Structure 1
Amino acid sequence: MNAHLWDQEMQPYRHRLQNIPPSGRLALAVTVMDRTLEEMGPLQPGVVRDYLTASMRVAHADVRAGAGELTLSEDALDAWNDVDDQADESGTTHVMSAVLACADAPGGLSGEVLYGVLSFCYEAVRERFEESEGGPEARCGAAIAFQKARVMELLGV
């Protein structure tokens, strides 16, 4: 199962993501990142897991506060490259990219940036399970279905 399937399934929603209010876009991104991390299973102890745990803690606080983007500290943003260099575990670099997109997009978490975040999350699941017995098809299909359902919910479709 490849990224082309994700593109085919999600493309109809791409330009409509901008219609979701900024706080809703962040809430959607955080919900999908949570689901992705849950689907991936426990991460190996270390700097990557610690960074993602801390970032998601901030993300949840930002969602509760109605923020429109992830407000990571300058120190956290500055540390991103060093942490990502250590993201050797399958799927983790994609989740790291999703976090950075939510926190460091020049124009904020636009619909286009959110589309990228959703893609990163799908890629994390695909990569995490591509070597597993039976391949990633079922998990990737479930990831797409989850994303579509959340998007349709927020769009009122």
Structure 2
Amino acid sequence: MKNLACGCPGSHVRTIEKKSCTSQEASGRIASELRQWPTQLALVPPTAPWLQNANLLIAADCTPFAYAEFHRDFIKDKVLVNACPKLDDCGPYVEKLTQIFTHNDIQSVTITIMEVPCCRGMVMVVKQALEASGKDIPVEVVVIGVDGERRNGS
């Protein structure tokens, strides 16, 4: 990871405490399920405390925008990292995920990708990182259609 010359406060690692909210049902608003910051894979330190014993959600960047219930169905009770396998150089992602898998007792990995072919690159990145780490972690792949519908899980 490159050091940011500005020391950007947006890169500061944070745990987000969830408040019990009963007004959610009354207002009709869905509460955020995000449990940590940052989420961009390039910014996540491999030794961030919230990675230890985590159920890891690795989301291709477009999936939360396409799937309306993303917080409720995917982020809840998981630690989120996101990246784009098409627009980004994936080599550093393999290295970062290898470090995350090596230094933490990750319990499970869920990968959300879009149905477009370029998104399959995210699955390959995770498989390469798992192989390099020597860990055997259960992986689920969920495909989201461009129409916002869940296509499958594997």
TM-score (norm 2): 0.28
Q: Relative to total residues, which structure has the larger helix share, 1 or 2? A: 1
Larger radius of gyration: 2
TM-score by length of 1: 0.28
Structure ranking higher in strand proportion: 2
Greater relative contact order: 1 or 2 (C-alpha under 8 angstroms, separation 6 or more)?
1
